[in-house]
Each structure stands twice: as structure tokens, then as C-alpha cells.
Amino acid sequence: MQHRGKSHKQTPPPVPSRVITRRAPRSTEVQSVIAQHQAHCKFERLSERTTRFYLDACRSLEGYMQGAGCPPDLNEFQPDDLRGYMSYLRECGLSEGSVLAHLRGIRAMWGWAVKDDLLRETPFSRVRLPKNPKRIMPALQPGQFEQLLSAAKAHPRYPLRNLALLTTMFDTGVRVSELVGLELEHIDWDGGQLRVLGKGNKERRVPAGKGALRSLHRYVHRERMPSRETETRVFLNKFREPLAVTGVQQELEYLAGKAGMTRADCTPHTFRRGFAVQYLRNGGDVFQLQQILGHESLEMTRRYVRYLDEDLKNAHTRNSPVDLLGKAK
């Protein structure tokens, strides 16, 4: 006769009590808030240039607060303190555009801090900011572009690289950071497009004309000699390493001198503006231009329409109803 052993139920292990950890209150002193905002910028993978812009603007405010005897706690920073900072920037000789740029950087940090429940409110809601002066910045003209091409052809070293640099910038309107980041596999030779990485690490495709692609092809196959076979960046410097933004700026400054142009008329952004203006002059659509330039808002692209005032004036001169009526008589 078999005896069944007693069944022993296994009791599950006790559920550990939930440990609630409370985050220590974060400091609202200006130095700490700046550091926390910088960490946020890196977490969001903002560009190094944008992150640095915020840092420089906010450190300027920190320096002012220390000198003016403001409390370090940003929750104690009042609208009158902000007005005092604006006056301080003007006394330092900054233009209205530069003052506004500083304030935008600080306002971005403050907006993040309020949204993140770090600060109670922003003083910007009660302070009227200066208006952005509507200055028309230089845009590269076709005649200037031809002068630069002639200077590049006469360049004793790297003439094909410089021709490719100039034609790519003027034909596509890419940012200089996008230009130096261009890799070989990003060139669609058959489709006539460049794949670039823009602000916020957003990738987009930019159309390129036959002339620009031809210049790129000649440089890549005849002159480009990388220091190592695995190098994928298109544009290289004299050390056969990837060309930096400062390298492009220095090369443009050199070519501008050879072409008899001022430094201000030959910067990477004058090429970008020049492309946009010529694109619109040649009948391009402003909505398509927005996509090509990688602008998030149409308002940013519409700025280039202001460059067409002279075109509108000339068109009116040719087609003035009253003047034409007088000629008819």
C-alpha cells in the first residue's frame, strides 16, 4: 500500500515594498540653471554651435548679475533686472541685432526652465524686446561668383577642389557645416542630389545641377587624395584630412582677396543667400526653396524675397500702366 506524501505548497517570496525615492530639489541659481540647460541641449542632440550660442549668451547674463549685485537665484530676477541687462549690452557697444541675439539665447534657457518646472516664471513675458533690424545682408551676385571662379582656376594648389567648393555652395545653398560633412556616398550622381545632415541632425536631399556635379566629379577623381583609403569625407585640406568650417572660411577669404572682393562679400552665408535670391529670380517657388534650404518655417525663407525689391522696381518701370499709357498717346 502506497502512502502519499503530504504536498507542501511553495509560498511565493514576499513582494518587496516599493521604495519611493524623491529627487532632491534642483538649484535655481544662475550657474546651476545654465549647467542643467547645457545638459538638456546635449540630451536633445542640439548642434555644437547652437549649444555654444546658448552658453555664451547665458554666461553673459551671469557676469552681468554678479557685477550688478543681482541675487544669484533666477527666481528672484525681475523684469527691471532684465531691462538693466539690456541697457548694459547697449553700453558695451552691441548693435540692436546683437542685443536681440543675446536675449534670444537667454529666453530659450528660461523657457526651458519654466517648462521643466525649475523656475516659476520668465521675466520676458513682461519686457518688450527690441525689434530685429531689417538689414539686408550681402548676397553673392553672379558676377562675383565668376570672379571667384577665375581666382580659383588660377590657384596654384587645389584648383579643382576650390572650383567644386564654389560651385556646390552657389548651386545648392547648403550650409557650410553641411558642405564639410558631405561624404562620398551622399552624392547621387545619377539622381543629381546631395544627401546632407542639417540642423538638429535632420537629413534632407538637396538637388544639384550638372555643373556642380561635374565639378565634384572632376575633383573627386582627379585631385582628391585622402590620407587613408577609408576616408569618406568629400572635401579635404592640405594635410589630406577632412576640411573644417574654418578651412572653408579661410579659403574664401583668400579667394576674395585675389578677386578684389571684400571679406564680407565672400562668406559661406553670402553664397547661401546668393543661391536663394537667384533661385527666386529664376522663377523658383518659395515653398520648394524652403525644403531645399532646410528651413523649419516659411517665414525664414520669405526673408529672401526682400532681396527682390530692385527686381520689382525694374519690372514696374517696364510695365507702369500710366507710363505705358503716356507712350501710347
pLDDT at site 39: 96
pLDDT classification of 13: cutoffs 50, 70, 90: low
Q: What is the mean pLDDT of the chain?
A: 88
CA distance between the termini of the chain: 133
Could you give the CA distance from residue 289 to residue 291 in angstroms, rounded to a whole number?
A: 5
Could you give the CA distance from residue 212 to residue 222 in angstroms, rounded to a whole number?
A: 15
C-alpha cell at 179: 558642405
pLDDT in tens, 257-290: 999 999 999 999 999 999 999 998 888 888 999 9
List the Cα angle 278/280/285 in 5-degree steps. 145
- Per-residue pLDDT at 17 exceeds 60: no
pLDDT in tens, 114-160: 999 999 999 999 999 888 767 778 899 999 999 999 999 988 778 99
- Per-residue pLDDT at 21 exceeds 60: no
Superfamily of domain 30-126: Tyrosine recombinase, N-terminal domain (1.10.150.130)
- Per-residue pLDDT at 99 exceeds 70: yes
Helix axes 159-172, 268-281, angle to 10 degrees: 50
pLDDT in tens, 179-188: 999 999 999 9
Kindly report whether the global pTM for this prediction surpasses the value 0.75: no
> Do 142-271 and 30-126 fall under one CATH topology?
no
- Per-residue pLDDT at 200 exceeds 80: no
C-alpha cell at 256: 576674395
Domain spans, the chain: 30-126, 142-271
pLDDT in tens, 52-69: 999 999 999 999 999 999
pLDDT at site 135: 72
- Per-residue pLDDT at 304 exceeds 90: no
pLDDT at site 312: 56
CATH fold label, 142-271: hpI Integrase; Chain A (1.10.443)
Question: Any idea which of 3-17, 190-204, 217-231 has the lowest mean pLDDT?
Answer: 3-17
pLDDT in tens, 79-97: 999 999 999 999 999 988 8
